[in-house]
Amino acid sequence: MTDETIYSHEDTLKMLDSLFREEGQWWDQFYADRDKGIPFFKDSPDENLVEYFDAGHIRPGKVLELGCGGGRNAVYMARQGCSVDAVDISQAAIDWGMERARKHEVQVNFARSNIFEMNLEPGSCDLIYDSGCFHHIYPHRRASFLELVNRTLKPGGHFGLVCFAAGSMGAEITDWEVYRQRSLRGGLGFTEDTLKRFFSDFETIEFRRMRQMDQADGLFGEAFLWTALFRKNK
């Protein structure tokens, strides 16, 4: 039986997690059918990520991808010469990523884990990338998320983020309402001001909407998403 006594902040966070669905199982079911026409199931990298490399904002280095899903961005970064650790809470997602890495003949270190249960070496990453995970993080875990990114990046390292833009996609409910409803309602939408405030310890290198891409473009792009590139101070 679970010990329901709260001794620490971590115990409080775990208690709050328990109010919501079991994330790993939910995402495993989500990935069970790969042909259901979900835009990000396409085997193409984010258009903003490709631009970061093409523009020289990011150079090949050590990368951690949070919530990597089927590995489309992890595979792209490995092809650019990065050493990539890619993490997802869903085993089905990790299996898909491994298949894609084999298909593209690149090496990616995939691991099934909750991002809040990883042992990460402080100051070890040149880039942390998150495409679509942050808006699924419960508000009580947000401070831990920011701390994880800050601690794991090298000084001068980059954090790339793609997430729902309020007004175009995502639930527009307050953080308190998430707990009243016991749901993120499919992911939270954020305003530019809110995101910049969350990441105010970082320098903003670029902040814009994602460019809408067609199926034929070979890149993923949906205009209902924000894209942001932040840099940790040196």
**Cβ 200 to ligand SAM shortest distance, Å:** 23
Q: Is 198 in the site for ligand SAM (CB under 6 A)?
A: no
- Identity of residue 231: R
Q: Is 79 in the site for ligand SAM (CB under 6 A)?
A: no
From the CA atom positions of the chain, what is the Rg in Å?
Answer: 17
Q: Is 89 in the site for ligand SAM (CB under 6 A)?
A: yes
Count of CA atoms in the C-beta half-sphere (13 A) of 129: 31
Nearer to ligand SAM, 68 or 153 (CB): 68
What is the 8-class DSSP label of residue 121?
A: -
Nearer to ligand SAM, 116 or 203 (CB): 116
Classify residue 18 as exposed, middle or buried by CB count within 10 Å of its CB (0-12, 13-18, 19+): exposed
Residue 69 φ/ψ region, left for φ over 0, alpha for ψ in the -120 to 50 degree band, beta for the rest: left
Q: Which of 50, 78, 84, 115 binds ligand SAM (CB under 6 A)?
A: 115
Q: Copy the structure tokens of residue 26.
A: 């939910």
Q: Is 88 in the site for ligand SAM (CB under 6 A)?
A: yes
Q: Copy the structure tokens of residue 152.
A: 């794991």
Helix (H), strand (E) at residue 208: strand 203-209
Q: How far apart are CA 132 and CA 211, in angstroms?
A: 15
Nearest residue relative to ligand SAM (C-beta): 69
Q: Which of 133, 195, 210, 228 binds ligand SAM (CB under 6 A)?
A: 133
Of 10-18, 126-134, 174-182, 193-201, which part binds ligand SAM (CB under 6 A)?
126-134
Q: Is 84 in the site for ligand SAM (CB under 6 A)?
A: no
Q: Residue 86, SS3?
A: strand
Residue 115 near residue 67, CB atoms below 8 Å: yes
CA 102 to chain centre: 22
Of 49-57, 86-94, 189-197, 200-208, which part binds ligand SAM (CB under 6 A)?
86-94
Q: Which of 14, 104, 136, 211 binds ligand SAM (CB under 6 A)?
A: 136
Q: Which of 13, 14, 17, 23 binds ligand SAM (CB under 6 A)?
A: 23
Q: Which of 44, 48, 80, 90 binds ligand SAM (CB under 6 A)?
A: 90
Residue 95 near residue 119, CB atoms below 8 Å: no
Q: How far apart are CA 232 and CA 199, in angstroms?
A: 10
Of 82-90, 163-171, 174-182, 225-233, which part binds ligand SAM (CB under 6 A)?
82-90
Nearer to ligand SAM, 56 or 82 (CB): 82
Which residues of the chain form contacts with ligand SAM (CB under 6 A)?
Answer: 23, 27, 40, 67-70, 72, 87-90, 93, 114-115, 131-133, 136
